[in-house]
């Protein structure tokens, strides 16, 4: 009898689970496993690796293919200070633009960066950072676990920055200047060291920027010109969500993780398409039973050209594509398992895992350098 692996996830099937070529949107899927030592993989519908990049640091969450065909990589900078428990896992700060051959053509460093970053069409970079709140503002942050502030009683709050190709800040938005802490209370089971924890930033149309505020369960759109909040999706709709994006019809696609969802005893994840002004859910996907699809943190959803949706069930390294009626037409499990390389991250998330923050699907025309044999 063969020996079973002690890690539950590694005993499950990995690689390609199945594909329906006729109904899939086709193309190539890019993903950067959180613990694969800086390897970024591009796979085809058969689950075969067609290209690989090797970066010097593991991802500080994500990698994307840019309009010019280069890779935009968000690396986990080793010099970022350990601000609080968990920071080592989700900070980034080492940004690189890399050619298909592995040549680094642009770099930017910000040791206070965490979670998401967006590479804009004009070459600029939009991303989230933190700064400590003043004691007066920190005292106004509501909720959270009492006494769980960062060392010294500090609460860090989010700042969204846009930098140009020279690394100069050309736009900035400080959360505490536009959000009243009393109106965005932390969940009772969350630590008080980070408010409101912006885990995603996404440019929308007409100058909107869409933010996901995880520890307060809210998605907001802000005006780039005035910095005011244009609309808010609250905890009656979303729970610990990730990855909001504006669709062509003006609706917002959200990965709704499902932690602390009101009036729900069994956590489960779902993908929501929401009309933000009416606050109506116009489409959703969940599995049956609900707990069959669930990731407690991270996660992604990308609407594809044919109406299908690519889903990242992040903590379990599961990528799958669904039709508008919720039928799975492609499924792949990340086979690359490892422990986090640094002690602080291993203490926060021990053991081996195959987690993926977010995956992205591209069509052949978006990868001009790719040679298909």
Q: Is 223 exposed, middle or buried (0-12, 13-18, 19+ CB in 10 A)?
A: middle
Average pLDDT over residues 225-237: 97
In angstroms, the CA 133 to CA 157 distance is 6
Where residue 294 falls among pLDDT bands split at 50, 70, 90?
A: very high
CB-CB contact of 257 with 243 (8 Å): no
- Sorting pLDDT into bands at 50, 70 and 90, what band is 292? very high
Residue 87 has what pLDDT? 95
DSSP H or E segment with residue 89: helix 87-90
Give the list of residues 6+ apart from residue 8 with CB closer than 8 angstroms, or none. none
Judging by DSSP bridges, how do beta strands 49-54 and 39-43 pair with one another?
Answer: antiparallel
Write out the two tokens for 293: 């699809």
- Tell me how far apart the alpha carbons of residues 204 and 367 are, in angstroms, rounded to a whole number: 24
Give the model's pLDDT for residue 3.
64
Q: In this model, does residue 42 exceed pLDDT 60?
A: yes
| Residue 359 CB contacts under 8 Å (≥ 6 apart), including other chains | 29, 30, 31, 300, 302, 310, 312, 319
pLDDT at 2 over 60: no
Q: What pLDDT is attached to residue 204?
A: 96
Asked if residue 1 has pLDDT above 60, the reply is no
Q: Hey, what are 186's tokens?
A: 């932390």
pLDDT of amino acid 8 = 73
Q: How many CB atoms lie within 10 A of CB 51?
A: 18
- Express each pLDDT in 157-173 by its tens digit: 999 999 999 999 999 99
Read off the pLDDT of residues 49-67 as tens digits, 9 standing for 90 and up.
Answer: 999 999 999 999 999 999 9
Q: What is the pLDDT of residue 236?
A: 96
pLDDT at position 12 is 80
Please report the pLDDT score of residue 11 as a whole number.
74
Q: Which two tokens stand for residue 19?
A: 């594909």
**Which residues, at least 6 apart from 364, have a Cβ–Cβ distance to it below 8 Å?**
27, 28, 370, 372
Q: Which two tokens stand for residue 76?
A: 């986990």
pLDDT tens digits, one per residue of 178-218: 999 999 999 999 999 999 999 999 999 999 999 999 999 99
Query: Which three-class secondary structure state does DSSP give residue 346?
Result: helix
- What tens digit of pLDDT does each residue of 245-259 get? 999 999 999 999 999
Please say if the pLDDT value at position 138 is more than 90. yes
Q: Kindly indicate the confidence band of residue 5, based on its pLDDT and cuts at 50, 70 and 90.
A: low
Q: What span, in angstroms and rounded, lies between the C-alpha atoms of 323 and 334? A: 21
Identify whether the C-beta of residue 43 lies closer than 8 Å to the C-beta of residue 65.
no
Alpha-carbon gap, residue 334 to 15, rounded angstroms:
6
Q: How far is the C-alpha of 280 from the C-alpha of 72, rounded, in Å?
A: 34
Report the alpha-carbon distance of residue 83 to residue 287 in Å, rounded.
Answer: 37
* CATH 2.120.10.30 correct for 12-366: yes
| Angle, alpha carbons 7-11-15 (nearest 5°) | 115
For residue 175, the SS3 value is helix
Mean pLDDT of the chain: 95
Q: What is the DSSP letter of 308?
A: -
**Pairing outcome for strands 156-163 and 194-195:** parallel
């Amino acid at each position: 009898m063969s020996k079973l692996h002690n890690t539950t996830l590694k005993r499950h099937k990995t690689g390609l689970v199945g594909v329906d070529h006729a109904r899939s949107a086709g193309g190539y899927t890019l993903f950067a496993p959180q613990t694969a030592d800086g390897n970024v993989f591009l796979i085809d519908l058969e689950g075969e690796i067609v290209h690989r990049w090797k970066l010097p640091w593991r991802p500080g969450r994500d990698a994307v293919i840019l309009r010019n065909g280069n890779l935009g990589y968000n690396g986990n900078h080793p010099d970022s200070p350990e601000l609080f428990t968990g920071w080592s896992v989700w900070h980034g700060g080492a940004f690189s633009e890399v050619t298909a051959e592995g040549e680094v053509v642009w770099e930017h460093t910000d040791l206070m960066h965490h979670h998401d970053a967006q590479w804009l069409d004009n070459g600029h970079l939009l991303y989230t950072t933190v700064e400590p709140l003043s004691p007066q503002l920190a005292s106004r942050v509501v909720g959270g676990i009492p006494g769980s502030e960062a060392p010294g009683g500090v609460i860090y709050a989010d700042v969204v920055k846009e930098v140009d190709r020279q690394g100069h800040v050309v736009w900035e938005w400080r959360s505490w200047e536009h959000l009243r802490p009393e109106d965005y209370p932390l969940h009772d089971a969350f630590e008080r060291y980070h408010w409101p924890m912006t885990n995603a930033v996404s440019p929308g149309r007409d100058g909107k920027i869409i933010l996901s505020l995880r520890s307060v369960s809210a998605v907001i759109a802000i005006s780039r010109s005035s910095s005011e909040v244009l609309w808010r999706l609250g905890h009656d709709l979303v729970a610990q969500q990730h990855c909001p994006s504006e669709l062509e019809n003006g609706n917002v696609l959200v990965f709704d993780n499902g932690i602390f969802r009101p009036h729900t005893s069994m956590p489960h994840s779902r993908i929501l398409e929401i009309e933000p002004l009416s606050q109506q859910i116009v489409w959703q996907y969940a599995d049956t039973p609900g707990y069959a699809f669930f990731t407690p943190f991270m996660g992604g959803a990308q609407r594809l050209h044919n109406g299908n949706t690519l889903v990242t069930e992040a903590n379990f390294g599961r990528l799958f594509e669904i039709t508008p009626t919720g039928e799975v037409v492609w499924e792949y499990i990340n086979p690359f398992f490892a422990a986090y390389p640094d002690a602080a991250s291993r203490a926060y998330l021990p053991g081996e895992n195959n987690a993926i923050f977010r995956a992205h699907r591209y069509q052949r025309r978006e990868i001009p350098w790719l040679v298909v044999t």
